[in-house]
Structure 1
Amino acid sequence: MDLKTWESFYNQILDDFGYGSAEDLRSAEILEEMIKKFKNNVDLSEISEKIFEKEVYIFGAGPSLKKHVLKLKETINQDIAIIAADGATKALLEENIVPDIIVSDLDGDIDSILKSNDLGSIVVAHAHGDNIDKLEKYIKLLKNIVGSTQFPKKFDLLVNYGGFTDGDRCCFLAEEFGAKKMILCGMDFGIYVTKYSRPNIENDVELADEVKVKKLKYAEMFVNWLVNNGKSPIEFMA
């Protein structure tokens, strides 16, 4: 998705959720300055090497996540790429699967993200208006990162391929770098959240709040946009 197309979606999201853009811009600028300071980013060619012309398994943190992780474990081979959306990283690590890439705004299980990063995962760390505190706390602890933003302008060190939630941003990343095919796992787009996406909930699965349900609807809309407009075929794991 090009920036002009994304900007129209971005403005729609701002209007629908009542967000402002100023904090998104500030967060992006802070992330870029931190990357310049710590020099812990990787060249985008490393992302390309992991994704281009491969079957890419993308893991969201929906109710079907654990089932799909176990199914992948039965058939895993070396010719695939695995991208985890934020808290889905924990479910993969529980089965000794280290994702190639993690896409995260750093509000999931941060210990799992740090561990996976230490084991070799590239982290696409996302800046938005209400996670500046997390950026300031965790970016310096990460290595091999790519910074991302949702603010619709070009940055020297940040990417923006479209997408609103960690899950659909995974899909836009795979599309951008030429995935042979995407297989979506744990991406249910329903009305429930799991402990993997919300570590502080009491039960393994709970009803999502109204804002989260709306975000999941946007995620589904963007995946459907990719189905209709992208080059990489998309299918859902059964």
Structure 2
Amino acid sequence: MDLKTWGSFYEKILDDFGYGSAEDLKSAELLEEIIEKFKNNVNLSEISKKIFGKEVYVFGAGPSLKKHVLNLKENMNQDITIIAADGATKALLEENIVPDIIVSDLDGDINSILKSNDLGSIVVAHAHGDNIDKLEKYIELLKNIVGSTQFPKKFDFLINYGGFTDGDRCCFLAEEFGAKKIILCGMDFGIYVTKYSRPNIENDVELADEVKVKKLKYAEMFVNWLIENGNSPVEFMA
């Protein structure tokens, strides 16, 4: 998705959720400053090597996540790429699977993200208006990162290929770098959240709040947009 197309979606999201763009810009600029200071980013060619021409398994943190992780474990193919959306990282590590790439705004299980990064995962760290505190706290602890933003302008160190949630941003990343196929796992787009998505909930699965349900509907819309407009075939794991 190009910036102009994304920009039209972005304006709709701001209007629909009542967000402002100023904090998104502030967050993006901060992330750039941190990356420039610590120089802990990787060249995008490293992302390309992992994705181009590969079957890419995208793991979201929905109720089907654990089942799909176990399915993958039983039928593991070495020539695939695994992209985890934020908290899905924890479920993969529980089965000794280290994702190749993590796409995260850093509100999932941060210890799992740090551990996976230490084991070799590239982290695509996302800046938005509500996570400035997390960027200040965690970015300098990470290595091999790529910065991302949803603010629709070009930055020197940040990418923006479209997408609103960690899950659909994973898909747009896979599309951008020429995945042979995108297989969606744990991407349920329903009305429930799991402990992997929201570490502080009491039960393994709970009803999502109204805002989260709305975000999941946007994620589903963007995945459907990608199915219709992208070059990489998209399918759901059974």
> Which TM bucket (shorter chain)?
over 0.9
CA distance in 2: counterparts of 1:209 and 1:145, whole angstroms: 31
After superposition, give the CA deviation of every residue in 1:180-218 in whole Å (9 maximum; x if it has no partner).
000000000000000000000000000000000000000
1:72 to partner: Cα distance = 0.1
Q: Which residue of 2 aligns with 1:200?
A: 200
Q: Which residue of 2 aligns with 1:93?
A: 93
Is residue 155 of structure 1 aligned with residue 155 of structure 2? yes
Quote the sequence identity (%).
Answer: 90
Q: Which residue of 2 aligns with 1:29?
A: 29
Q: Which residue of 1 aligns with 2:38?
A: 38
CA distance in 2: counterparts of 1:76 and 1:9, whole angstroms: 36
CA distance in 1: counterparts of 2:52 and 2:71, whole angstroms: 23
Q: Which residue of 2 aligns with 1:181?
A: 181
CA distance in 1: counterparts of 2:52 and 2:100, whole angstroms: 13
Residues 88-127 of structure 1 aligned to structure 2 (within 5 Å): 88-127=88-127
Which 5+ residue runs of structure 1 have no aligned equivalent?
none
1:78 to partner: Cα distance = 1.2
CA distance in 2: counterparts of 1:15 and 1:25, whole angstroms: 16
CA distance in 1: counterparts of 2:76 and 2:146, whole angstroms: 26
After superposition, give the CA deviation of every residue in 1:95-115 in whole Å (9 maximum; x if it has no partner).
000000000000000000000
1:141 to partner: Cα distance = 0.3
Q: Which residue of 2 aligns with 1:143?
A: 143
Is residue 14 of structure 1 aligned with residue 14 of structure 2? yes
Q: Which residue of 2 aligns with 1:237?
A: 237
TM-score for both structures, normalised by structure 1: 1.00
Is residue 171 of structure 1 aligned with residue 171 of structure 2? yes
1:153 to partner: Cα distance = 0.1
Aligned length: 238
Residue 77 of structure 2 aligns with an amino acid whose one-letter code is: N
After superposition, give the CA deviation of every residue in 1:3-42 in whole Å (9 maximum; x if it has no partner).
0000000000000000000000000000000000000000
Q: RMSD value over aligned CA atoms?
A: 0.2
Which 5+ residue runs of structure 2 have no aligned equivalent?
none
CA distance in 1: counterparts of 2:75 and 2:48, whole angstroms: 23
CA distance in 1: counterparts of 2:8 and 2:183, whole angstroms: 27
CA distance in 1: counterparts of 2:158 and 2:203, whole angstroms: 36
CA distance in 1: counterparts of 2:98 and 2:54, whole angstroms: 17
CA distance in 1: counterparts of 2:72 and 2:120, whole angstroms: 19
After superposition, give the CA deviation of every residue in 1:93-137 in whole Å (9 maximum; x if it has no partner).
000000000000000000000000000000000000010000000
Residue 151 of structure 1 aligns with an amino acid whose one-letter code is: F
Q: Which residue of 1 aligns with 2:70?
A: 70
CA distance in 2: counterparts of 1:236 and 1:146, whole angstroms: 26
Is residue 214 of structure 1 aligned with residue 236 of structure 2? no
CA distance in 2: counterparts of 1:77 and 1:114, whole angstroms: 25
CA distance in 2: counterparts of 1:231 and 1:173, whole angstroms: 12
1:150 to partner: Cα distance = 0.1
TM-score for both structures, normalised by structure 2: 1.00
CA distance in 1: counterparts of 2:36 and 2:156, whole angstroms: 10
After superposition, give the CA deviation of every residue in 1:49-69 in whole Å (9 maximum; x if it has no partner).
000000000000000000000
Structure 1 counterpart SS, 2:148: strand
Residue 184 of structure 2 aligns with an amino acid whose one-letter code is: L
1:77 to partner: Cα distance = 1.5
Residue 39 of structure 1 aligns with an amino acid whose one-letter code is: K
